[in-house]
Structure 1
Amino acid sequence: MSTDLYARRDIERALDLADAYEAVRRTYVETARGRVLNPSKLTMHLGDDGEWPNLNAFSIDMPAYVDWLEVVGMKWAIATWNSESDSPISSQILLFDIDNEEFTAIMEGMYLTGVRTALQTVVGLDRLSSAAAASVGVVGAGYQARFQLSVVDALLDVETFRLFDTDGGRARELAAAVGPRLDARIEVADAARDVVGCDAVVTVTDSKVPVLEEAWLDEGTFLVALGSYRELPDETVRAADHLVVDHVEQCLQRGALADMAERGELARGDVDATVGEVLAGEYERPVASGDRVLFVPIGLGALDVAVAERLRRSDGDAGGSFPFA
């Protein structure tokens, strides 16, 4: 068997969102049941932390074994923040068949990452919230925001998106590009405060300082924090009635919770549940109307591997990918 190369166009052609959603949902559940190996991300700082070398970049390795698919894989991503590209992160996903002892595929990783990240939001809105969200606010209009809008719109019955970015022109450009293809209407907000009246708010930025203020938020707002850095004020984290993550150790090292954890103000015991535990029925506290849910899915390599493997299997001999070995 040869190793197949998948370019972005091959992935766009072959990807089925409903199947990818099921891959994410089941992998979350199997992770909670101990049937997935997903070590914390291995991060190599290349100056993004202010230290040497001064490249303002970082590298992340995300290996995983997903038992229900019997696949080993890894995503390798490098972020180059000095780039003027709309997508400063590049990544590849590798898949390996243990039984046949061979690599089966190498896939362009950024499109799959965008879809997978948006599917995390869909799982949160669909399975963690006490009520369906008719309106969703999105803070950040970069590469990931495009997927948040399109994937959430495709899989959930959202009526309105409200989009904000500190670069208003970028937000308007994204709304103009994506809006005509959405069933929901999209509104561009003039200030971050204008998005918090939505039923749910998604922060998807590279900000290292909070992009929202606790005083702006309603008591029962459903929050999804996707950024690699701080994004939310400490008060908002403390105000959560349900703090749900995808991977406890990983979320204490990177993302919205990392600063508080580093200061010793947040520990493993402060996390109420993983999303897998909730989906598997292992979280006993129901989410009541008016409860604040804070969902922090920093991203599992296992999800990338599972979605990629499902795509590879469903693609079969349909053509498009390129065998190289």
Structure 2
Amino acid sequence: MPVSDQGNAVTVVSEAVCEQVIGRQDAFTAVENVFAAMAKQNAYNFPVVREAIGHADALYGFKSGFDREGKVLGLKSGGYWPGNTRLNLTNHQSTVVLFDPDTGRLKSLVGGNYLTALRTAASSAVSIAHLARKDAKVLGMVGAGHQSTFQLRAALEQRDFESVVAWNLHPETLPRLAAVCEELSLPFETVDRKELCARSDVIITITSAFEALLDSDWVKPGTHIACMGTDTVGKQEVDPRLFARARVFTDEVVQSVTLGEAQHAIASGLIRETDIVPIGDVINNAKPGRTSDEDITLFDGTGVGLQDLAVASVAAELAVSENKAQILEL
């Protein structure tokens, strides 16, 4: 029974069920489609609410939107609790709430922790698929936190990478990336940041940094960089001067210039808002992506609510079709 045909029932999909029913390819397709819809003005995000709550050093907020093409309406509520690691919990905690866009009726409650990591990795994977050189061979990973293995696995499916190099501020967590590479029989090496830039054809940054970790001068022509960690005012992962050298793309321009990685380049006058291209325009063939093997391409992945809604909607549909969802009658 399709989720939309359940009358007054609410679909509840747990974290465990999400992990069972939706994988990387489903997430890639959902995110790619919603980026395309956004660029055609058929889907839009509402203003983000994100606040420090003054307790547990937590950031909490809402991301919401409406996809007219996919008929998906809802919000993700949650945030970042930095002390959760000590409690053996994921730092990012969230739940996705979906509504019927025709009636406003509550339709689904979907665990958002796994989906957040999955959709963030799908976003960078979409950028690699559309912007990285076809002959990219070395993948560089900056960051080795919870989301890093999701990023690594999704990226490795986009090009025929021959090796992975990695750096993290806390090197004791790098073995989690090494384990994935060992599983996939792929050479893995820990290096410093300058060497990582010198060797990498594609670089993913997935950290919670508030300072530039990569210098513009280190990045070689032809590199594709997916900056995936900056989603809050003040956060920063790369040298703003890199934006002046690169062709810049993003999930949503408004978020990119206000709370994404581009905020620093914009504030410094290194680029203008009009220099940033929504990746949906590249997906729709409305604007060019990479124009030569020498281009540096940079994707500012700020994380938009529509990504969460897209993957949560797919997860709910799959959970119902596989009889793994809980159905509550209101």
TM-score, normalising length from structure 2?
0.88
* Whole-angstrom distance in 1 between the partners of 2:178 and 2:77: 30
* Whole-angstrom distance in 1 between the partners of 2:290 and 2:163: 27
Q: Which moved more, 1:22-31 or 1:254-263?
A: 254-263
* Whole-angstrom distance in 1 between the partners of 2:215 and 2:173: 22
- 1:195-206 to 2 correspondences below 5 Å: 195-196=196-197, 197-206=199-208
1:117 matched to which residue of 2?
Answer: 120
2:3 matched to which residue of 1?
Answer: none
Give the drift of 1:77.
2.1
* Whole-angstrom distance in 1 between the partners of 2:99 and 2:58: 28
* Whole-angstrom distance in 2 between the partners of 1:54 and 1:266: 37
- 1:1-325 to 2 correspondences below 5 Å: 1=6, 2-46=9-53, 53=54, 55-85=56-86, 87-99=90-102, 101-176=104-179, 178-182=180-184, 185-196=186-197, 197-228=199-230, 229-240=235-246, 242-263=247-268, 265-271=270-276, 273-284=277-288, 287-325=291-329
In structure 2, stretches of 5+ residues that fail to align are: 1-5
Give the drift of 1:146.
1.2
Q: Could you say if the C-alpha distance between residues 233 and 54 of structure 1 is closer, same or farther in structure 2, counting changes exceeding 3 Å?
A: farther
Counterpart residue type for residue 155 of structure 2 = V
Q: Could you say if the C-alpha distance between residues 217 and 264 of structure 1 is closer, same or farther in structure 2, counting changes exceeding 3 Å?
A: closer
CA offsets 1:31-79 (integer angstroms, 9 cap, x no match): 1111002124222233xxxxxx375321131111111221201111211
RMSD over aligned CA atoms reads: 2.1
* Whole-angstrom distance in 1 between the partners of 2:293 and 2:325: 47
Q: Secondary structure at the match of 1:34?
A: coil
Give the drift of 1:265.
4.9
Counterpart residue type for residue 144 of structure 1 = Q
Q: Could you say if the C-alpha distance between residues 321 and 155 of structure 1 is closer, same or farther in structure 2, counting changes exceeding 3 Å?
A: farther
Q: Secondary structure at the match of 1:84?
A: helix
Q: Could you say if the C-alpha distance between residues 231 and 107 of structure 1 is closer, same or farther in structure 2, counting changes exceeding 3 Å?
A: same
Q: Which moved more, 1:88-97 or 1:260-269?
A: 260-269
Q: Secondary structure at the match of 1:69?
A: coil
Q: Secondary structure at the match of 1:211?
A: strand
Give the drift of 1:17.
2.7
CA offsets 1:159-197 (integer angstroms, 9 cap, x no match): 222221111111024423x234335x1513132223211
* Whole-angstrom distance in 2 between the partners of 1:5 and 1:54: 29
Q: Secondary structure at the match of 1:127?
A: helix
* Whole-angstrom distance in 2 between the partners of 1:113 and 1:156: 23
8 Å CA contact retained: 1:40, 1:250: no
Counterpart residue type for residue 79 of structure 1 = Y
* Whole-angstrom distance in 2 between the partners of 1:258 and 1:75: 23
Q: Secondary structure at the match of 1:74?
A: strand
Q: Secondary structure at the match of 2:153?
A: helix
Give the drift of 1:267.
3.4
CA offsets 1:11-33 (integer angstroms, 9 cap, x no match): 11111432322211111111111
Q: Secondary structure at the match of 1:28?
A: helix
* Whole-angstrom distance in 1 between the partners of 2:106 and 2:158: 32
Would you say how many aligned residue pairs link Structure 1 and Structure 2?
Answer: 315
8 Å CA contact retained: 1:122, 1:156: no
1:50 matched to which residue of 2?
Answer: none
Q: Could you say if the C-alpha distance between residues 305 and 160 of structure 1 is closer, same or farther in structure 2, counting changes exceeding 3 Å?
A: same
* Whole-angstrom distance in 1 between the partners of 2:50 and 2:265: 19
* Whole-angstrom distance in 1 between the partners of 2:300 and 2:255: 10
Counterpart residue type for residue 303 of structure 2 = G
8 Å CA contact retained: 2:76, 2:97: yes
Q: Secondary structure at the match of 1:281?
A: coil
